[in-house]
A and B are shown apart, each in its own frame.
Chain A
């Protein structure tokens, strides 16, 4: 019997239902875990996503044919049954459960196990085989509670306000930016959002996410008009020309990679905050255990090392092989 999912040059493929999951190249029918660019790509014939993930996917990809499913609802495609389950990575982000010929496989997509106050919390799904991401699949990555990190950011912002500096915080525009907005004490001062972030704020607000009020950062924005402001910007815009209009600034960045001093220094920010939308070492291990799966496939990160670890823990473990290796340690669009 054919496996429920196979690994092809186009990505994960389900022969029983004739569809792909987060495909790498254009296909007829694509199931998408969430709206990040390395998962939701343009050019597919038809899209299927969770209700909560669809708005961001639509916003990013424009005019596409997309259907949605609520979390937990079973849906038949050919000889396969699929359903979406919360991955806790960002609002609407899903794991995808695929059942065919009496066997259940689950594709984790990107996930984290700690609650972030905004995304639907990660839900373990029992399965025979689990395809897990392992972006931070090394024991050096362990996150502190979100509340502590948010308090650190609040304290840094307060310090900057007292010193008359504008606070510039870098974060990915979908997910991390909103998580920060929801987690910090946004009443402490004016909060400005860069265009890309503000657009995503609008998408998520429209689907019911409660976010504090933000002001758009425009070419007219001057630092002196917003004393003590916090500006949230995507990483690519952190040293744009706009910073010169802000007056004295302090820069920070929020990402799991900030755990490493070497990466912090290479970023040459004033501050690095360890905050990730991916599971840490303990999160990965507990999530895998909770699925009850005997077979585990590692993808998206330190796959070979993580596979060897899983094998030493008694799993039938393998690496998802398709296309080029994603470089370990490269910035991940979390």
Chain B
């Protein structure tokens, strides 16, 4: 595992994409095949289920190091990473054992069926044989999670450098839910197995955020449509089978039996890009995202939920027809062919077009955008009529023009240190609104302030903390922040009865005393309007 530990260190040490790419390409050029495949899997988020919970691992490490558990717990927020904390406290290794990355992955599988005591013994034995530099990576394998700033694009580029295969073809081959257990490096990367190819989605084309459309040129060159608030998905019918992929590269066919009838209606060799939504057929518009979320939590969907929150795919694009890849054809042509395909479907199937919006000026479009929330959309998408379907995020042809977020002014009541890079700053805050004289927590947020602001608030927290609960500090209700969010929904699990989507700090309202922050009643009013 030395080689992989070195790769991890090299990726972690630099923020420069070129250096990361070079390090990964070098690794992919020299590592044994089965290790290469595991490295690609781990770096693209295909990690195995964690073999042990974080709490147990922490306690076992404390025991192994002869330290009280509370001391390890206190050290963790300073380091900001459990795998690293454990690597740092363990006593020096007793012996040196070299096992390959794939060897360790196989070893991990043998842990799963073991009882806790046996598992603990196995892990402690492993720690004793690992040099200090490999322990961090080993602990990361145990806890899952390899965030070293490596995007899918970077993996693809490094792989292209190592193999000489073009990036777009590799990007396509890496899609789908393969794991090193189901394929080999040869089959996946080099041979491109035809059986795998059948189910494999295309890389999604992604949009950049747009502030203002004025600079885009003539409105006539652009196609506008709603940006729906659901799950981006790809519907594939190939080889007599139907596959539904989410953008997270998860095969979700089984979770949406609603779509099964499409097998009879779509011709073989069809791939559609669209949005999966929970659908209100009476109102002919999507149900709130919360309804869709209920369905996501389950592998099998009860009948009641199927009836309450039926799924529908609103199609954005046609990527393949008659088995031919259409991605290089202009968008306008793809949309025409999509319209023709969908026009022939009976009305009861859960698939329809995401309508193109007519507009003759940017002002008219802006007015239309202002009505997005009523239509349960997040804003607009603008796509150049002549554009191909790019792999990934490419600037210039696709834009998302979202609505301004909803906001409330809230009081900060708890602070906690961040992770990784931000481990020495208080960056994770809990916010509350007034309910009479009481402050009711309703959201957590950890992004949106500048480094200088985080440093300032960190000093303040250190000097003013009222009470500590492990790594959490209770602070005097003094500072007001404007919290922005994308959606609001009812949630009996939260004390406030409300859950927000994507809350973040928009700005620090130094001008506002805590007493003037918003109230729970204000939030409930937002819930009625937008929930």
A→B interface (CB under 8 Å) = 138-142, 259-266, 268, 270-271, 302, 305, 308-309, 312, 324-325, 327-330
Contacts and interface: CB of A to CB of B under 8 A. Distances in A.
Given A138-B75, A139-B67, A140-B85, A265 B462 contact: no
A281 to B, nearest CB: 9
A318 to B, nearest CB: 18
B75 A139 contact: yes
B78 A329 contact: yes
B5 interface: no
B89 A140 contact: yes
Contact of B71 (A139, A260, A268): A139
A302 B78 CA distance: 10
Nearest to B73: A305
B201 to A, nearest CB: 34
A4 B35 CA distance: 64
B459 A262 contact: no
A304 to B, nearest CB: 9
Contacts of B80: 260, 262
Interface string B66-86: 011011101100111100110
B346 to A, nearest CB: 56
Contacts of B75: 138-140, 305
A260 B79 contact: yes
Interface of B: 12-15, 65, 67-68, 70-72, 74-75, 78-81, 84-85, 88-89, 419-424, 458-459, 462-463
A330 to B, nearest CB: 7
Contacts of A312: 68
Nearest to B465: A325
Contact of B79 (A262, A265, A324): A262
Contacts of B84: 260-261
Contacts of A328: 78, 462
A268 B19 CA distance: 14
Contact of A142 (B12, B13, B88, B462): B88
A324 B15 CA distance: 35
A317 to B, nearest CB: 14
B78 A140 contact: yes
Contact of A138 (B78, B419, B421, B424): B78
Nearest to A138: B75
A149 to B, nearest CB: 14
B65 A265 contact: no
Contacts of A141: 88
A324 B463 contact: yes
A305 B74 CA distance: 7
Contacts of A308: 70-71
Contacts of B462: 325, 327-328
B182 to A, nearest CB: 33
A139 B459 CA distance: 24
A329 B417 CA distance: 11
A327 B423 CA distance: 13
